[in-house]
């Protein structure tokens, strides 16, 4: 991932130094497990632990130089580590293991750590959405369907629904973490032919992983599930960002992204305050979904293993983790700093819509008075069209329509329209969305 979108705490997990450090730990733990079984002399296992090289830039360079000869990264790693420890102790490194034992188990430990960061960031987004939703629980605004004015809603209800979706994403990350929190040290083709299952159990316990049956590699549906959780995060953030971008359009102007001191919205037009964070997040979601496709295609491998998944995972697992983490952090910041123009929301709802958003309660009142639904619909529809074309308040058009007096009774028209156009009545149950946030924990 390019540095622009790499936050340091996640990037560190996928550095070359971190990768080799985890490989070394797996190898050292395996030698200690063999020592418990009486295969490796205890003093040799202690020497391996003491002399294991530090995973720094120098080791990364040494392994890369050796790989230029071996054309095999794990074989190169083993050669360099054994040489650093020295004979005879170093000869026990990688005893009975195959490359995937080390790579897959270390990768699982890395993904668990990455999932923990994603859970932390997800929790921040959920908490921020919850706070802003409760803040605007009674802030009325236009609901829109198909991009058109629909019925009244509240900004709090809107944010609450995104909060609930983000909470479901957090549950998906938890499940994905569990799926990848597994290890295997069962040797070539996974039959334990040259490695005792007790070695696997000991190493996995030390790393906080669960040993699982496997071929030569851990099944890749687990990694695909992790990538789905990352893609789902991106899609939720995209949905939220798309909504806020629409609401920031000049002709809507109901919200604004925070705009910092000294910030410039356009290199050419000084008046611009563009929704750049939202646009960036939408673009990232597209990339995240692509990574999921790659992860799903990695599931089908030849027989007990091949390495068609390996090159893919070197790209998609670090990048998906980095992008999902970036999306969560930036989305939380976007919501936290969001400027909400409550007055504009109310003006758009009541004046800008001409009151057309109250067409359904008028329709229902006519039906209740004895009109057929189609008859009532045609009356309200024609008056709504006249209101829109003449730019007259919808209520004025209705009050001047003799068909309403005929259907409702002239003495009842005013009271019926009062109730139909009552904003409090329309929003009396909107709090149900924010009420659901009581079950959303920290």
Residues marked as catalytic: 146, 266
Strands 210-211 and 182-183: parallel
C-alpha 88/C-alpha 82 separation (Å) is 9
Q: Does the N-terminal peptide bond of residue 2 adopt cis geometry, omega within 30 degrees of 0?
A: no
Report residue 108 CA to chain centroid gap.
20
Collect all residues with Cβ–Cβ distance below 8 Å to 371 and sequence separation of at least 6. 379, 407
Q: Which helix (H) or strand (E) holds 161?
A: helix 155-180
C-alpha 299/C-alpha 215 separation (Å) is 13
136 φ/ψ angles, rounded to the nearest 5 degrees: -110, 30
Q: Which two tokens stand for residue 146?
A: 């198909």
Q: Which two tokens stand for residue 143?
A: 């609901």
Residues 245, 251 contacting (CB under 8 angstroms): no
Residues 229, 131 contacting (CB under 8 angstroms): no
Beta bridge partners of 141: 153
Minimal CA–CA distance to 131: which of 344, 389, 315, 337?
Answer: 337
Cα separations (Å) of 178 from 15, 106, 230, 265? 23, 15, 14, 43
Q: Which helix (H) or strand (E) holds 141?
A: strand 140-145
Beta bridge partners of 144: 149
């Amino acid at each position: 991932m390019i540095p622009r979108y790499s936050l340091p705490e996640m990037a560190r997990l996928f550095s070359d130094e971190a990768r080799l450090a985890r490989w070394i730990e797996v190898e050292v733990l395996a030698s200690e497990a063999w020592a418990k079984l009486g295969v490796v002399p205890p003093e040799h296992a202690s020497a391996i632990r003491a002399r294991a090289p530090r995973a720094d830039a120098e080791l990364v360079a040494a392994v890369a130089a050796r790989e230029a000869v071996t054309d095999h990264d794990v074989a190169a790693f083993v050669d360099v580590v054994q040489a650093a420890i020295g004979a005879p102790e170093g000869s026990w490194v990688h005893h009975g293991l195959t490359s995937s034992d080390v790579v897959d188990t270390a990768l699982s430990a890395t993904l668990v750590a990455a999932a923990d960061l994603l859970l932390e960031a997800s929790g921040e987004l959920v908490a921020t959405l919850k706070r802003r939703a409760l803040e605007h629980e009674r802030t009325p605004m236009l609901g829109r369907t198909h991009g058109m004015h629909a019925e009244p809603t509240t900004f709090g209800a809107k944010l609450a629904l995104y909060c609930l979706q983000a909470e479901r994403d957090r549950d998906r990350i938890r499940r994905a973490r569990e799926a990848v929190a597994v290890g295997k040290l069962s040797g070539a083709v996974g039959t334990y032919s040259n490695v005792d299952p007790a070695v696997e159990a000991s190493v996995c316990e030390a790393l906080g992983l669960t040993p699982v049956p496997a071929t030569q590699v851990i099944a890749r549906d687990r990694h695909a599930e992790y990538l789905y959780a990352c893609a789902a995060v991106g899609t939720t953030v995209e949905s939220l960002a798309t909504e806020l971008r629409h609401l920031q359009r000049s002709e809507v102007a109901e919200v604004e992204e925070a705009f910092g001191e000294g910030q410039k919205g356009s290199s050419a037009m000084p008046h611009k305050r563009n929704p750049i964070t939202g646009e960036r997040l939408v673009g990232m979601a597209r990339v995240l979904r692509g990574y999921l496709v790659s992860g799903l295609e990695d599931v089908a491998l030849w027989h007990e293993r091949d390495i068609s998944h390996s090159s893919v995972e070197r790209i998609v697992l670090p990048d998906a983790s980095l992008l999902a983490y970036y999306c969560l952090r930036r989305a939380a910041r976007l919501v936290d700093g969001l400027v909400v123009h409550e007055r504009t929301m109310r003006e758009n709802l009541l004046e800008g819509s001409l009151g057309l958003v109250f067409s359904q309660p008028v329709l229902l009142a006519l039906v209740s008075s004895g009109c057929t639904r189609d008859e009532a619909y045609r009356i309200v529809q024609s008056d709504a069209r006249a209101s829109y074309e003449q730019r007259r308040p919808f209520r004025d058009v209705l009050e001047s329509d003799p068909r309403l007096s005929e259907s409702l009774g002239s003495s009842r028209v005013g009271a019926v329209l009062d109730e139909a156009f009552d904003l409090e009545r329309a929003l009396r149950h909107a709090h149900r969305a924010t009420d659901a946030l009581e079950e959303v924990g920290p």
